[in-house]
Amino acid sequence: MASAAAAGLVVLATASGCMVMSPVQTDEPYVPADGVPANAGSVALRDLSFVSTGTTGAGVVVSGNAANLGDQEVTLQMRPQAADGTSSSAGVQVQLRPYQQVDLASLALSIPSVQAKPGALTTVQIVAEPGGTTVTQVPILLASGYLATVTPTAGPTGTPTTSQPAGEQTPAATDITTQPEPSR
């Protein structure tokens, strides 16, 4: 009986040691998307990625979601950076109304040249005016599978605006103040 109790204590001590060496996985941050999150001022970017046709130096489409969580209109700019840390002159710009959420891929925001191929990361400077600036690594994804329709177009690039006359919204834009709270 005493040996059974001693064996039980040994098993218990051994099993508790596993917990010390391995963190609880629910305590580890996880981004369940292909893109990356980033914040600049009151703008929250989620699932941010660049979609490419596959060649280095080709144009890319900006994909992801941008939400202005503040009560002021914000100008959001994204510019890839060169290896020396300088910002490229090519980039995109979007106007976000207060509490507006936008699907960036549906705006067809195109950057004419990014010096990385699919599978790589590229450094991007994100500026929210008013607000702040952040620099993050954005993945370049290949335009295949569910991203096959997200490709650069031969049309204009750069600075679409999501500002619409009062009461109108683009299909890509949603006023997040009118969205119902998710049930919990």
Nearest residue to 174 (alpha-carbon basis) of 92, 103, 77, 107: 103
Contact between 121 and 33 under an 8 Å Cβ cutoff? The reply is no
Q: How is residue 155 annotated by DSSP? A: S
Contact between 43 and 96 under an 8 Å Cβ cutoff? The reply is yes
Per-residue burial over 39-61, b if 16 or more Cβ lie within 10 Å, else e, is: bbbbbbbbbbbbbbeeeeebbbb
Locate all alpha helices (DSSP H) within 22-170, ordered by sequence. Answer: none
Report the alpha-carbon distance of residue 54 to residue 159 in Å, rounded.
24
Q: What is the pLDDT of residue 11?
A: 77
In a 3-state reduction of DSSP, which class is residue 144?
coil
pTM for the full predicted model: 0.69
Q: How is residue 172 annotated by DSSP? A: T
Pick from 35-39, 124-128, 160-164: least confident: 160-164
At a CB cut-off of 8 Å and minimum separation 6, what does 83 contact? none
Q: Which two tokens stand for residue 169?
A: 């919204």
Pick from 56-70, 80-94, 128-142: least confident: 80-94
Residue type, 127: V
Class of domain 36-147+159-164: mainly beta
More confident residue, 117 or 30: 117
More confident residue, 153 or 70: 70
Reported as type and span, the H/E element at residue 6 is helix 2-21
At a CB cut-off of 8 Å and minimum separation 6, what does 145 contact? none
Q: Does residue 175 carry a pLDDT above 50? A: no
Pick from 68-72, 104-108, 163-167: least confident: 163-167
Question: How much is the average pLDDT of 65-75?
Answer: 96
Nearest residue to 40 (alpha-carbon basis) of 90, 6, 16, 75: 75
Q: Residue 58 — pLDDT band, cuts 50, 70, 90?
A: confident
Q: Does residue 25 carry a pLDDT above 50? A: yes
Q: What is the pLDDT of residue 164?
A: 42
